[in-house]
Amino acid sequence: MKLFQLYHLLIFLVLSATSTAMAKYAMTGCNDTCGNVRIPYPFGIGANCSVNRWYTVDCNSSTPYLPALNHLELLGVNLADQIAIVNAPKISDCQSRARNSSETISIDLGRSPFLFSKSRNKFVFEGCGNAVMMDNGSVLTGCSTTCRNETLIDTNNCFGTNCCQTTIPHYVKSFSINLERRGEDGMCGSAFLVDENSYANRSFFNRSITREDAFVPVSLLWTLDEADVNRITCCDSLELQLFWVSRSLDCGNNISMDIQKCFAYTYVDGTPYLPDGCEFTEECTRCRNSGGFCDDGAVYDVDGLVTKWNFTCAQWRN
């Protein structure tokens, strides 16, 4: 504990003697927003504004898309959690009028640096019957429903009646979904991966099971290869010694994948992937001006990735 306090004291003394840089999210000469979506580096709008082609964003009619990823719409980027939220297609049998039918869809991220996030997504089936998610032919997860005459789905009560949900066991690059319909004529169903925070949003409440939505928000974990890491200098404008950290992901079948990220505390604004991109948040600045120091407590999932941050303004002890 004394060593930890000494470390923060050294940072405080260094920061007191230096001026902070202006926070920035994009490379010099590049835009950092498209519509109301912030596009932080290593993503970038247009050519030569991203770390590589996979992170290049097209801004069309104030809507951002990832052209290298089948032009999926980009809904947001979270630097701290290494997550990009996109609008991804879902499988639906709403076009089929047969009472007992089966539909299958496959989704593959190919050679991209993206993975479907295990900790941020849930597998959902809305309708009558059962749905199974598979990876290379092996079952990953699935759930079944029983049906009532009600035509509305309440995502707060998605536990087996007209709707069911479950988790996925590990990070995946590709998967397929098989949907088997068991319902009355005119009643359809759909199965999909979805970002759990988005699914809990009120815009999803009380949805009709006969309504067909083509896309749902999905969380993708984005990764950087060794060449990218060698090209990037972590933000050092605050002399915080921001550094690369490595984590190992469970990809199933006893396969793991090492990923790296430029670590930054939540009390730092800007992107840590640019050497001149950081400054303290207003909350941290107020804390420092009051004589305290900024601290972050992290909550980790089983893969060592941060799932939640708890900012505190700590006080020095004599």
Task: Give Dmax (Cα) for the chain.
Answer: 75
What's residue 133's pLDDT?
94
Q: How many CB atoms lie within 10 A of CB 3?
A: 6
Number of domains in the chain: 2
What's residue 213's pLDDT?
67
Domain termination residue (choose one: 192, 222, 252): 222
Q: Looking at the structure, do residues 92 and 186 belong to the same domain, yes or no? A: yes
Q: Looking at the structure, do residues 100 and 76 belong to the same domain, yes or no? A: no
Domain termination residue (choose one: 205, 222, 239): 222
Asked if pLDDT for residue 57 goes beyond 50, the answer is: yes
Short-list 308, 296, 229, 244, CA closest to 268 = 296
Asked if pLDDT for residue 19 goes beyond 60, the answer is: no
What's residue 95's pLDDT?
61
Q: Residue 7 — pLDDT band, cuts 50, 70, 90?
A: very low
Q: Looking at the structure, do residues 125 and 40 belong to the same domain, yes or no? A: no
Q: Looking at the structure, do residues 11 and 124 belong to the same domain, yes or no? A: no
How far apart are alpha carbons 127 and 145 in whole angstroms? Answer: 7
Asked if pLDDT for residue 44 goes beyond 90, the answer is: yes
175: containing domain? 85-222
Report the DSSP beta bridge partners of residue 33: 38
What's residue 96's pLDDT?
57
How far apart are alpha carbons 69 and 73 in whole angstroms? Answer: 9
**Per-residue pLDDT tens digits for 258-278:** 889 888 887 888 999 998 888
Q: Looking at the structure, do residues 158 and 196 belong to the same domain, yes or no? A: yes
Asked if pLDDT for residue 18 goes beyond 60, the answer is: no
pTM of the model: 0.82
What's residue 8's pLDDT?
44
**Per-residue pLDDT tens digits for 186-204:** 467 889 999 998 887 755 4
Looking at every residue in the chain, the average pLDDT score rounds to 81
Cα–Cα separations (whole angstroms), residue 168 to 71, 118, 142, 181, 299: 25, 6, 9, 22, 20
Q: Looking at the structure, do residues 73 and 95 belong to the same domain, yes or no? A: no
Asked if pLDDT for residue 23 goes beyond 70, the answer is: yes
Q: Looking at the structure, do residues 65 and 112 belong to the same domain, yes or no? A: no
Asked if pLDDT for residue 300 goes beyond 70, the answer is: no
DSSP category for residue 185: T
CATH code at position 89: 2.60.120
Secondary structure of residue 287 in the 3-state scheme: helix
Q: Residue 298 — pLDDT band, cuts 50, 70, 90?
A: low
In terms of pLDDT, which residue wins out, 102 or 177?
Answer: 177
Burial of 271 per CB tally in 10 Å (0-12, 13-18, 19+) = buried
Q: Looking at the structure, do residues 192 and 95 belong to the same domain, yes or no? A: yes
What's residue 12's pLDDT?
40
Lowest mean pLDDT among 5-14, 19-28, 80-89, 93-102: 5-14
**Per-residue pLDDT tens digits for 153-185:** 666 778 888 889 999 999 999 999 998 877 655
Q: Looking at the structure, do residues 199 and 216 belong to the same domain, yes or no? A: yes
Mean pLDDT of 235-239: 63
Domain termination residue (choose one: 222, 246, 267): 222
Q: Looking at the structure, do residues 142 and 271 belong to the same domain, yes or no? A: no
Q: Looking at the structure, do residues 117 and 203 belong to the same domain, yes or no? A: yes
Q: Residue 99 — pLDDT band, cuts 50, 70, 90?
A: low
Q: Looking at the structure, do residues 253 and 269 belong to the same domain, yes or no? A: yes
What's residue 167's pLDDT?
93
Query: CB within 8 A of 262, min separation 6: which ones?
Result: 232, 234, 235, 242, 243, 244, 272, 273
**Per-residue pLDDT tens digits for 104-118:** 888 899 999 999 999
